[in-house]
Chains A and B, each alone.
Chain A
Amino acid sequence: MLMSKGRPQDGPLDIDGVLEFVMARATEMGASYADARYQDRRLTLAGLTSRRSDPGAASRRDTWEVSRHVEKGLGVRVIGPSGGEGFSATSDFSRPALAAVVSEALAGSMSADFPGTSTASGAPPSAACRTPSRAARALGPPVVTTGRAVTPRTRHPEDVSLEEKKGLLETFAAEAFAIPETGALNLAYADSAGVDHLATTEGTRVETDTTRVILRAGVQAHRAPSSYDCAESLGGVGGLELLPDRAVKELARRLAAGAAEWLGAAPAPGGEMTTILDNQAGENFVHEAVGHSCEADAVLTGASVMAGKLGVQVGAPGVTVVDDPGRPGTVGLFPYDDEGVPAERVTLIEDGVLRNYLHTRRTAEAMGASPNGHARARDFGHLPIVRMGTINLEAGDFGLEELFEGVRDGIYLIGKRGGQVDPARGVFQFRPDRARLIRNGEPAEPVRAPSLSGSVLDILQNIDAVGDDLRFHPGGCGKGFPSQVIPAGSGSPHLRLRRATIGGTALGRAKVGRETAPGRAKVGREAAPAEAPGAPSSKRRRD
């Protein structure tokens, strides 16, 4: 399936030649398995920071930064005779360099032990689970995949001029500065395009042609002495069709208006309170709290609160979470993972019950499960590890207004800034972009965005209503040591949490709560508080 064919014996190797050389060399040197990932990606970045010359002035001071980058190299993973795993990489495709990289990977595999197996539930395994054929069992049954995939796009980023890409940022800036309170902007456009090739000694030959485009925008409103900033991203796997002018303008207006409205907002209250998450805050929560806890590498070492809980009710009924790397248009789309396993839609939590983990071949084998195509590496220079593709909490059937009904006193978190989780302790936190108080069933005055912190298992049980408005947004994720930062998609409808800890600075509002009738902790529409007081508003912001 590889494109380049034919080469002289001693001349430079083409892609086929590089992969074949590495496979042959690894086998000759005694590897029980080897794979080689060849990557040739080109990236274009454009950044614009801009500030108004004086408050209210029409003129601005712009600073542009444009750059182009080539990421070309080969990563080689080897499973040694004893089942250990080694890895090395190079950007030099000469025969001696390729031989050296195989030797380095093999040396790593020789020094690594085989970690044994575990049970499918994630509980610690018994010694009897281990098999004598270590090398053969390290990755489980052979996986042989052949194919070529081209991710969908209609306007390939390399067919679009740099001027047009810069024009997107200009368009954004013009719209955002039309709002007088906008003081400064920080905009970043990035695209990547290229083909990744994977070959394994088991016979896998996979080629994936992927393009991504992302626009990340930050807007700062300023009115002395107050300032407030809002940020959001657009884009995904695809081409420039994902960044149409109207979407760029709409984003600029929304962020600029949001930042301006939140100028001078009071500090948020701190303490436990009923909380409604908008789509982006919800997806941030799902990524941090559920996604990372369901990654099998953490589960295997006991460093996840989800370890040993397959089949256990870990969330409220009605809570269903899936990871789907096939979700079109999202930034976490990939047809094959970095081990050549076709990427699968995985149901992690179904109606509150933990059903599955995200796996590489290695973790799947160690836990007696099937690989599901979630091995991802930052680039050719990193070893694939368990990662999310595009994770989402499935839609329920609560309308937006119904979610607010009956919340006498609470907080509405809007947008996402990022989060972090400690899966071993089951503690996570994330910060939204903005927040509003909720009073008598309606979103009320803006407050400065506080973080939400919680125990993964407690919060999952505390979801008492799921909206019907599932949406997806691009994002990113860092994991590993050293950290591998990758694009990852996520989605969520609006969610209502019966109780969550909010880290605001205004104290004295702890333990505020929603007026709930006993026994109404279910998420389905049938559990909606039909008798809930207060008419929902149709004027709340949608972010």
Chain B
Amino acid sequence: MEDLIDHAEQALELTRRRGAAGAEVYVIDAPGDAVRLDPSTAGRGVVLKTAVTIPHRGLALTARWGDRVGFASTTDLSPAGLETAVEACREARLPEPPPLLPLTDPTLPAPPVPDLVDRRLLEMNLGGLVDVAREVAGEVLEAGAGVLGAVCLSACRRVVVANSLGLARSSLDTLVTAATYALSSGGGLSGLSRSFRSLDALRRRGVGRMAADQARLCEEPRDVAGGRQTVVLRPEAVLSLLSSSLGPAFGADRIAEGLSPLALPDGTPRLGEEIAAPILSLTDSAVLPGGTGSYAFDAEGTPGRATPVVRHGRLVSVLHNNRTAAASTGNASRERGDRMSTFVEPSGHFGYRSGVLPSTLVAEAPGATFPGLTEAGVDRGLLVSDVLGAFVIDPAVGDFSVTTSSAWALEGGRPVYPVTRAMLSGNVYELLRRVVGLAGENVDVRGSFSILTPDWIVEDVTVV
């Protein structure tokens, strides 16, 4: 970690020498190993096609000269590269309204969150990851299905945030992701991707087995009748629908810009207003032990914490970074989120100035959470595992029109047949008001932020 701290301190020193009145540096080194298995051409098994190491290393610099703030990033951490970055930051400086580059107080404690590091993942080489991928593919094969592809990714992420107030914070975490595409003997196809903080968690979940089971349930699909129906959204489908809508909409930056439906015309949040069904509560939590969205501190060095955002359907709080509030909620994020993309942006988290995003949205429905769909009294409806096309939802409006990737008709609370292809249409913010219950186990799903939730039971959704 010392090397990253050295880079951060060098960059801070260079900005000081160039006359900056304050600066913040974010350095990340998160090399990822990735392996890909393809179906064997000789038989039923798989072969390893590619094993790669992907660097994700760079530095982001935000600095203030007078009433102007600049931002730059670089992958070149050599002394000359840092000089170039500081100069680029100075060139890019613009006048900003106050508060000018508010910085995290270094005295704020940021205790580590438990279970974010798996020592075995830290020590694992590419060969080890190949073995993990083979295990996942093996689960598919053991369950009697074929493997159309399996990918495993393992990343060890080191982050340093430092600022000119004397903050110098470092963290280390691990993440392993397994994704596979299973083809059942009866022609059912299903893909599944899940991320975990540890190998044990990955093995407990059995991603390959789940994909194979789901593929078998996709055999002989039938058309579904259109109309307004009760729809059960699996956690992946919930995250897909909320990723480009409600998640960013909780950000005080989007609210101030008038680009969130949670904003009043004056750019303040609609606190106290009912934005979801009264049974639904949502808490953003960066401190869940082992959570895929957890962190000790955010992209500005502010400690992570739990922030209730929706209580019994009412908006009770929104999320902040240092720029949007004197007391940040620790939600500064360098994910692209819903930022306008030109497809020419730099890759890597260090390429974005910090915005505001949830860490992990935890869904709860006290009194309306059931072990399963039968207990929840869901008689007929549509069970949806995930959807295509949700990323184009505009957070300011929330209209969606998406296609199911895997879906089943429900009768008596059980899936009775797979559905060929269905479209769900509506508005995310209206959908939130139609949630009548949660069912099943909590699942942690990761995207640009994470969500921890059971299935959502939503009434009166348009199915085409």
Interface residues of A (CB under 8 A from B): 43-45, 47, 49, 51, 54-55, 61, 63-73, 84-92, 104-105, 107-109, 111-118, 124-125, 127, 129-130, 162, 183-184, 186-192, 212, 214-216, 218, 220, 224, 227-229, 231, 233, 235, 267-268, 270-271, 300-303, 331, 378-379, 381-383, 417-422, 424-425, 427-431, 448-451, 453, 455, 474-477, 481-482, 485-488, 501-505, 507, 510
Given A55-B265, A424-B181: A67 touches B464 (CB 8 Å cut-off): no
Q: Cβ of B39: which chain A residues have Cβ within 8 Å of it?
A: 301-302
A510 near B226 (CB under 8 angstroms)?
yes
B34 near A70 (CB under 8 angstroms)?
no
A85 near B55 (CB under 8 angstroms)?
no
Q: Cβ of B108: which chain A residues have Cβ within 8 Å of it?
A: none
B54 near A505 (CB under 8 angstroms)?
no
Tell me, in angstroms, the Cα distance from A237 to B57 when the chains sit together: 27
Given A70-B81, A117-B41: A104 touches B346 (CB 8 Å cut-off): no
Q: How far is the CB of A221 from chain B (nearest CB, A)?
A: 11
B464 near A73 (CB under 8 angstroms)?
no
The segment from B10-18, B87-95, B434-442 that touches chain A is B87-95
- What are 21 A-to-B residue pairs whose CB atoms are below 8 Å? A43-B344, A45-B345, A55-B265, A85-B51, A86-B50, A86-B126, A112-B35, A112-B50, A184-B396, A190-B342, A190-B344, A214-B344, A301-B149, A382-B54, A418-B391, A420-B389, A420-B391, A429-B402, A429-B403, A451-B402, A505-B462
Q: How far is the CB of B175 from chain A (nearest CB, A)?
A: 11
B126 near A66 (CB under 8 angstroms)?
no
Tell me, in angstroms, the Cα distance from A430 to B390 when the chains sit together: 10
Q: Cβ of A301: which chain B residues have Cβ within 8 Å of it?
A: 38-39, 148-149
Of B81, B339, B401, most buried by chain A (CB within 10 Å of CB) is B401
The secondary structure that dominates the A interface is strand
Q: Cβ of A84: which chain B residues have Cβ within 8 Å of it?
A: 48, 51
A91 near B57 (CB under 8 angstroms)?
yes
A216 near B342 (CB under 8 angstroms)?
yes
Contact partner of B259 (CB less than 8 A), chosen from A85, A89, A90, A184, is: A184
Contact partner of B50 (CB less than 8 A), chosen from A87, A448, A453, is: A87
Tell me, in angstroms, the Cα distance from A112 to B189 when the chains sit together: 26
Q: Return the chain B residue nearest A213 by Cβ.
A: B344
Of B96, B153, B258, most buried by chain A (CB within 10 Å of CB) is B258
Q: Mark B44-55, 1 if CB is under 8 A from A, else 0.
A: 000111111111
Tell me, in angstroms, the Cα distance from A113 to B37 when the chains sit together: 9
Contact partner of B392 (CB less than 8 A), chosen from A54, A112, A220, A417, is: A417
A-B pairs, 5 with minimum CB distance: A476-B343, A503-B423, A108-B51, A451-B401, A68-B88
- B107 at interface, CB cutoff 8 A: no
Tell me, in angstroms, the Cα distance from A474 to B343 when the chains sit together: 9
Known: A92-B78, A453-B423. 8 other contacts (CB 8 A): A55-B265, A64-B96, A65-B353, A70-B85, A73-B55, A108-B53, A417-B392, A419-B392
Tell me, in angstroms, the Cα distance from A529 to B428 when the chains sit together: 42
B51 near A109 (CB under 8 angstroms)?
yes
Tell me, in angstroms, the Cα distance from A502 to B401 when the chains sit together: 9
A503 near B75 (CB under 8 angstroms)?
no
Given A68-B72, A125-B41, A502-B464: A482 touches B389 (CB 8 Å cut-off): no
Tell me, in angstroms, the Cα distance from A422 to B404 when the chains sit together: 11
Q: Cβ of A303: which chain B residues have Cβ within 8 Å of it?
A: 148-149, 181
Give the size category of B's interface with A: 35 or more
B50 near A503 (CB under 8 angstroms)?
no
Q: How far is the CB of A420 from chain B (nearest CB, A)?
A: 4
Q: How far is the CB of B240 from chain A (nearest CB, A)?
A: 10
Q: Cβ of A88: which chain B residues have Cβ within 8 Å of it?
A: 52-53, 55
A104 near B53 (CB under 8 angstroms)?
yes
Q: Mark B100-119, 1 if CB is under 8 A from A, else 0.
A: 00000000000000000000
Q: Cβ of B416: which chain A residues have Cβ within 8 Å of it?
A: none
Given A383-B50, A430-B389: A270 touches B425 (CB 8 Å cut-off): yes
Q: Return the chain B residue nearest A45 by Cβ.
A: B345
Q: Return the chain B residue nearest A41 by Cβ.
A: B346
Q: How far is the CB of B176 from chain A (nearest CB, A)?
A: 13
Tell me, in angstroms, the Cα distance from A538 to B415 when the chains sit together: 51
A300 near B38 (CB under 8 angstroms)?
yes
A381 near B347 (CB under 8 angstroms)?
yes
- B372 at interface, CB cutoff 8 A: no
Q: Return the chain B residue nearest A427 by Cβ.
A: B421
A229 near B394 (CB under 8 angstroms)?
yes
A383 near B426 (CB under 8 angstroms)?
no
A116 near B41 (CB under 8 angstroms)?
yes
Q: How far is the CB of B441 from chain A (nearest CB, A)?
A: 26
B388 near A427 (CB under 8 angstroms)?
yes
Q: Cβ of A450: which chain B residues have Cβ within 8 Å of it?
A: 401, 425
A124 near B179 (CB under 8 angstroms)?
no
Q: Cβ of A424: which chain B residues have Cβ within 8 Å of it?
A: 148, 181, 189, 191
- B164 at interface, CB cutoff 8 A: no
Tell me, in angstroms, the Cα distance from A502 to B426 when the chains sit together: 13
Given A68-B72, A301-B38: A91 touches B77 (CB 8 Å cut-off): yes
Q: How far is the CB of A410 from chain B (nearest CB, A)?
A: 16
B341 near A188 (CB under 8 angstroms)?
yes
Contact partner of B423 (CB less than 8 A), chosen from A73, A116, A218, A451, is: A451
Of B51, B81, B259, most buried by chain A (CB within 10 Å of CB) is B51
Contact partner of A220 (CB less than 8 A), chosen from B85, B259, B267, B401, is: B259
Given A270-B226, A429-B388, A507-B462: A69 touches B74 (CB 8 Å cut-off): yes
Contact partner of B388 (CB less than 8 A), chosen from A118, A124, A422, A448, is: A422
Q: Cβ of A63: which chain B residues have Cβ within 8 Å of it?
A: 257
Q: How far is the CB of A57 from chain B (nearest CB, A)?
A: 11
Q: How far is the CB of A427 from chain B (nearest CB, A)?
A: 6
